[in-house]
Amino acid sequence: MPNTALIIIDMQTALVTGAFREHEVLERVGLLADKCRAAKVPVIYIQHNHASFEPMMKGQPGWNIHSAIAPEPGDLVIEKQASDAFYATELGATLRSLGIDTVMVTGMQTEYCVDATARSALSHEFDVVLISDCHTTGNAVITAEQIIAHHNATLPNVVHPSAAIRAVPSAEIAFP
């Protein structure tokens, strides 16, 4: 997948701790990040600065990216304040400056930031590969498992004239 970047959304301690299949998702995201680094594919972390939820406020212990998948030298970290990682951030410009046209999306929380960022990527005319086993959430009105399955099934059907979303498990991601 040439011209691709990995986006790791909000995998911060306060959100990841207790999430559905927390350890499995952390392991898969870590392995995918390592695979990307080895292939010289940019790894971009998105870090949420929450305005009112204290554990996610900048500088609080829960705000830190989970230590199991912490950024390494050469990785980029972009802070945000909205669910959409493109909104009022340099994400779009950074991706364009790197020649990226496809983003692999992983992270927290499936129904909020993962969903909003994947849809926004389409509006910014990036193709999206939703890594189907590398995003998670907690139980809400429906179970986390249902939320994840729903998004893996529906996001690839979001219509756009020049970009698309595909849902692909991490094991199927390969670089030449």
Q: What is the pLDDT along the chain (176 residues), one digit of tens a residue?
A: 679 999 999 999 999 999 999 999 999 999 999 999 999 999 999 999 999 999 999 999 999 999 999 999 999 999 999 999 999 999 999 999 999 999 999 999 999 999 999 999 999 999 999 999 999 999 999 999 999 999 999 999 999 999 999 999 999 999 98
Map out the domains of the chain with their CATH numbers: 4-172 (3.40.50.850)
Give the C-alpha separation, 107 to 101, whole Å: 20
Q: Which residues are catalytic?
A: 113
pTM of the model: 0.98
Give the C-alpha separation, 135 to 140, whole Å: 15
By DSSP bridging, strand 43-48 and strand 127-136 are unpaired
